[in-house]
Structure 1
């Protein structure tokens, strides 16, 4: 498994922090929206060399300077996390 921290709200993991970067939980539509903002998915290499990509995408740089954007993106990620069992 990767070495990171899960970020939880309302009992759901909606983000993770790894190596100083924050990644948000996504579905296909949200991942596409984040891709257009310059984001990329979280991926890590297993011990056997295979790369695992998770449904978490990097928080766009602009969100660090725009609190409303950060709140909106985080709320969307939390909604996605809450919709999954």
Structure 2
């Protein structure tokens, strides 16, 4: 998936910045990293509150091969119905952006201590 297609896909959410990384793309909104594109698949940031929703929708976590074996991170594949329904896409993308904002707020509170 190229940069233009990713920007088009996320347009209903507002402007995003797309940067090459991981052999794919990192996707940012409001300066927050909240999505990954790799091999044509979109993965959205999740947290302990939203990950069960992704799992229930049939999504799978992003896993990459680290030095010591597979590493799972807190990004989940976009549910398939979200690619066909703009309202569903916005809902899932908003959950990911909310998880990114919550993680950023937690980091900010930790830095202040």
TM-score by length of 1: 0.90
Structure 1 residue 79: Cα displacement: 1.1
* Structure 1, unpaired ranges of 5+: none
User: Which structure features the higher share of helix residues?
Assistant: 2
Matched residues in 2 for 1:27 and 1:3: separation?
A: 24
**3-state SS of 1:29 partner:** coil
* CA root-mean-square deviation: 1.5
**3-state SS of 2:75 partner:** strand
Matched residues in 1 for 2:74 and 2:26: separation?
A: 13
Matched, 1:38 2:54: no
* Structure 2, unpaired ranges of 5+: 1-20, 105-113
The ranges of structure 1 where at least 4 consecutive aligned residues each deviate by more than 2 angstroms after the TM superposition are 1-4
Check the 8 A contact 1:26/1:57 in 2, yes or no.
yes
Kindly tell me the number of residue pairs found equivalent between the two proteins. Answer: 84
